[in-house]
Chains A and B, each alone.
Chain A
Amino acid sequence: GAGVSQTPSNKVTEKGKYVELRCDPISGHTALYWYRQSLGQGPEFLIYFQGTGAADDSGLPNDRFFAVRPEGSVSTLKIQRTERGDSAVYLCASSLSVVETQYFGPGTRLLVL
């Protein structure tokens, strides 16, 4: 079956702009995770959803970052007033439940000029 998909695969934007990154989880997966991977680093946890609600958003770096999952399936990560330091690969993962293995998407590579 289809895996986790993320769009766009690449996004170039200018400092100060607003961006949205989309994640389509594996069908039926109730848990969805966002991670951010900076160059040369491992992924860092941002937020995870159980169904429609954000169960843990402790990894969001500041209030410019926000994520939603209104119908418990697709999720959108929103970044306001982008800064050059936001440049990274944003990874999404989903799992059948919060105690099951996470399956990762290919990521969205964000470059803020």
Chain B
Amino acid sequence: KQEVTQIPAALSVPEGENLVLNCSFTDSAIYNLQWFRQDPGKGLTSLLLIQSSQREQTSGRLNASLDKSSGRSTLYIAASQPGDSATYLCAVEKVRGGGNKLTFGTGTQLKVEL
């Protein structure tokens, strides 16, 4: 059974800092990995999706890397802003029987302070 772990569980940083969120998974046979953002009372917003054949993806101040063989991914946030405060979830997808159900980690709750 796939297990996804995220470290740290919570993180508080001053505005402007660069930071790294970590995600690890036990079964390296994945189809892709996604990073999501979740704001309180709202649904999940997909930030970055990395296919299993890729090493990294970038979008603005966000960069996600994937090392499938070691079962690890990192989300790098540059020059953090208060608006980045949210819970960040990573999820892996393993295609089976045509479906693409996601297995999520427990999330990292980020607070960026002024």
Contact = CB atoms under 8 A, between A and B. Distances in A.
Contact of B100 (A43, A91, A98): A98
Contact of A42 (B41, B97, B101, B105): B105
B42 interface: yes
Interface string A95-110: 1001101111111000
Main secondary structure of the interface of B (DSSP, over half): strand
Interface stretch (B43-51, B61-69, B71-79): B43-51
A95 B100 CA distance: 10
A105 B46 CA distance: 12
B101 A43 contact: no
17 contacts: A35-B102, A40-B106, A41-B106, A42-B89, A43-B44, A43-B91, A44-B104, A45-B101, A48-B99, A56-B96, A56-B101, A91-B43, A91-B44, A98-B99, A99-B100, A102-B46, A106-B43
A4 interface: yes
A38 to B, nearest CB: 10
Contact of B91 (A41, A42, A98): A42
